[in-house]
Amino acid sequence: MNDFNPALLKLAREARGWRQTTLAEAAKVGQGSVSKYEKGLMEPSRRQAGALARALEMPLGFFLQPEVRPAAVLYRSRVLKSARREATVRARLNLARLVALRLLEDVDVESEARFPGGDREFSSPEQAAAELRAGWWLPPGPIASVTEAIESAGAVVLRLDLGCDEVDAAYLHPLSDRTRWFFINTRVHAGDRVRFSLAHELGHAVLHEVDFVPDTKQAEDQSNLFSGAFMLPSDELRADLPRGRLRVAHLVELKRRWGMSMGAIAMRAHHIGAISRNDLTALWKEIGWRGYRTQEPVDVPVERPMIFDAALNIHRTEHRMSDDDLAGMAHVSRVVLAELFPEHFAPPVRRGHLSVVSARKDRVA
């Protein structure tokens, strides 16, 4: 097939978390053939392409899209030691972007604010955060919704299942795409973590858009500093800190006001020089002793993106589109939609083979 896109075969396979051998067995083709298909060294026949598509639960049309290439990703990860799991995360992010591009194709988004230009240089993450808050006309104090602030600047925030628990959020901005994409893992259920992670990815978007430095400790440290400064401006946080010693009880109330985790607030207080390293260590010990490392008091609601939700609502209510219609529009299957966006799409009902059994009992002569 001359119009078969090898990059999309690899993308679909990795999004499943499959090895080439797994796909080869499922499609009943040789592993060497799969390798050559993905590298563009050999083109599958229509029958072979159909077998690959069925194995991956994708429509054949997905692999016939021209000029589609995966893009590099920046993401906030705690630990990702497996190269295959990392490939799965990156593939799911790219696949989700392709799906969303299709579903948002006819949706016009009016942006009230703008991201800094590519030629803008900042002396520090702190300065970048302060300038962005001012440029986006964000009022002093806690940010009501980081998601709304980002989407008001023309970006799109998506919640999707990344296939693992280790990655909280990611940022993607291909050169050929005018949209900046922010992703949150639906497996993250703590609203304070979602807010920090979005601000962290916003740091990548502002600080590392031109000087692209993926997967480096320097980039992660800078984005963490940006996130703290953006969400907890130094002067405003300092005014909220107690005059005496900062205690865990204070952190609980500060979390209630700022919508950030107790740990993030304590770290920020240390970064701005409000508490010493010894004070920070003591706070961490007490947080651990109280069991707050895994479950902090005060639940922060998880922010909901608006653009993608609104687009789906328009398609479903005004255009009367079913999930099958939306899958066709996105060039994927309903299975893939449900796996990527479990909050928006239910998996299709898989009907088994029925057999007819007679209710009449045999008579014994």
Q: What is the pLDDT of residues 319-330, one digit of tens each?
A: 999 999 999 999
| CB of 45 closer than 8 Å to CB of 3 | no
For residues 246 and 283, give the distance between their C-alpha atoms in angstroms, rounded to a whole number: 8
| CB of 145 closer than 8 Å to CB of 121 | no
Q: What is the pLDDT of residue 192?
A: 97
| For range 10-17, the mean pLDDT | 96
pTM attached to this predicted model: 0.90
Would the pLDDT of 357 be above 60?
Answer: no
For residues 219 and 215, give the distance between their C-alpha atoms in angstroms, rounded to a whole number: 7
Three-state DSSP class for residue 169: strand
* CA dihedral (147, 268, 232, 240) positive or negative: positive
Would the pLDDT of 43 be above 50?
Answer: yes
Q: What is the pLDDT of residue 78?
A: 58
Strand 181-185 and strand 156-160: pairing? parallel
Grade residue 75 by pLDDT with cuts at 50, 70 and 90. confident
The pair of structure tokens assigned to 213 is: 């430095």
For residues 284 and 263, give the distance between their C-alpha atoms in angstroms, rounded to a whole number: 8
| CB of 270 closer than 8 Å to CB of 251 | no
Helix axis angle for 125-135 and 191-207, nearest 10°, is 100
- CA triplet 37, 39, 41: central angle to 5 degrees? 70
For residues 340 and 348, give the distance between their C-alpha atoms in angstroms, rounded to a whole number: 14
Cβ contacts of residue 337 below 8 Å, gap of 6+? 99, 323, 326, 327, 330, 344, 345
Residue 195, CA distances (Å) to 102, 116, 155, 200, 302 in order: 27, 21, 16, 9, 8
For residues 158 and 306, give the distance between their C-alpha atoms in angstroms, rounded to a whole number: 9
How far, rounded to the nearest angstrom, does the alpha carbon of residue 72 sit from its chain's CA centroid?
Answer: 13
Would the pLDDT of 363 be above 60?
Answer: no
Would the pLDDT of 108 be above 70?
Answer: yes
Residue 321, CA distances (Å) to 100, 103, 271, 313 in order: 16, 11, 51, 10
Grade residue 156 by pLDDT with cuts at 50, 70 and 90. very high
For residues 269 and 259, give the distance between their C-alpha atoms in angstroms, rounded to a whole number: 15
Cβ contacts of residue 80 below 8 Å, gap of 6+? 86, 89, 164, 166, 167
Would the pLDDT of 355 be above 60?
Answer: no
Residue of 144, 20, 176 whose CA lies nearest to 87: 20
Would the pLDDT of 206 be above 70?
Answer: yes
For residues 171 and 191, give the distance between their C-alpha atoms in angstroms, rounded to a whole number: 18
Q: Which of 3-12, 73-82, 306-315 has the lowest mean pLDDT?
A: 73-82
Grade residue 235 by pLDDT with cuts at 50, 70 and 90. very high
For residues 38 and 339, give the distance between their C-alpha atoms in angstroms, rounded to a whole number: 23
Neighbours of 121 (CB within 10 A): 11
Q: Which of 25-39, 192-206, 341-355 has the lowest mean pLDDT?
A: 341-355
For residues 335 and 80, give the distance between their C-alpha atoms in angstroms, rounded to a whole number: 26
Would the pLDDT of 354 be above 70?
Answer: no
Q: What is the mean pLDDT of the chain?
A: 90
